[in-house]
Amino acid sequence: MTVTARSKYSTGAMIFHWVIAAAVITNWRLVEAAEHASKVDEAYWMGHHKALGITILALTLGRLAWRLTHPIPPISTAVPQWQRVLARTTHILFYVLLIGLPLGGWLAGSYFDRGVDIWGLFTAPALPVGSSSEMGKTIIGFHKTGGEILIYLIALHILGALKHTFWDKDGTLFKMLPFGKVKG
């Protein structure tokens, strides 16, 4: 395969990728700050966590729409089949978690009759599910577990990109960057 424009992701895909990546890491740090804060400060940090979660949901839906309408670079046939399957599975799991986690957090808050204030700009209203603190707590438990899985998945994704770029020397990382060369 020769290096062509198709060997890299589109500029839009790159922007979505890096903005969502930064938002997810920031959101993880926000919830960590909330867990170690006083009750008053916890509400402050969680308010930002929830608002950023809804923003991540919107960005992910935008990225998914972009992904469905713009071709992605193929995985090299030199990559073993099991690694190609792992890469595709990881990307599918990212979409599931990047959509499911914000929806789950919003749903859990809805069981406590709470909408999500988006930085004072507007409020995403509570979903029409009724009140049930037990159900809200259960969903928050799943939400936390999903968040932990997402962090491990990010680590796997980073390790895979670094392995391919620096060990295999195929330039995989540069598929998602506007600079650098992808080896054909």
The pLDDT assigned to 78 comes to 86
Q: How many domains does the chain have?
A: 1
The pLDDT assigned to 2 comes to 41
* Domain of residue 118, residue span: 5-174
Residue 80 maps to a domain: yes
Residue 180 maps to a domain: no
53-to-22, 71, 74, 122 alpha-carbon distances in Å: 12, 27, 30, 14
The pLDDT assigned to 75 comes to 86
Residue 179 maps to a domain: no
The pLDDT assigned to 41 comes to 93
The pLDDT assigned to 172 comes to 86
What long-range pairs does 153-158 form, CB within 8 A, spacing at least 24?
153/90, 153/93, 153/94, 153/97, 154/21, 154/24, 154/25, 156/90, 157/90, 157/94
Residue 48 maps to a domain: yes
The pLDDT assigned to 4 comes to 45
Give yes or no for a contact between 46 and 34, defined as CB atoms under 8 angstroms apart: yes
What is the C-alpha separation between 54 and 45, in angstroms, rounded?
15
103-129 pLDDT, tens digit each: 999 999 999 999 999 999 999 999 999
42-62 pLDDT, tens digit each: 999 999 999 999 999 999 999
Q: Which portions of the chain are predicted below pLDDT 70?
A: 1-5, 184
Residue 138 maps to a domain: yes
**Which conformational region is residue 123 in: left (phi greater than 0), alpha (psi within -120 to 50 degrees), or beta?**
beta
Give yes or no for a contact between 54 and 106, defined as CB atoms under 8 angstroms apart: yes
Residue 133 maps to a domain: yes
Residue 143 maps to a domain: yes
Other C-beta atoms closer than 10 Å to the C-beta of 163 total 14
Residue 86 maps to a domain: yes
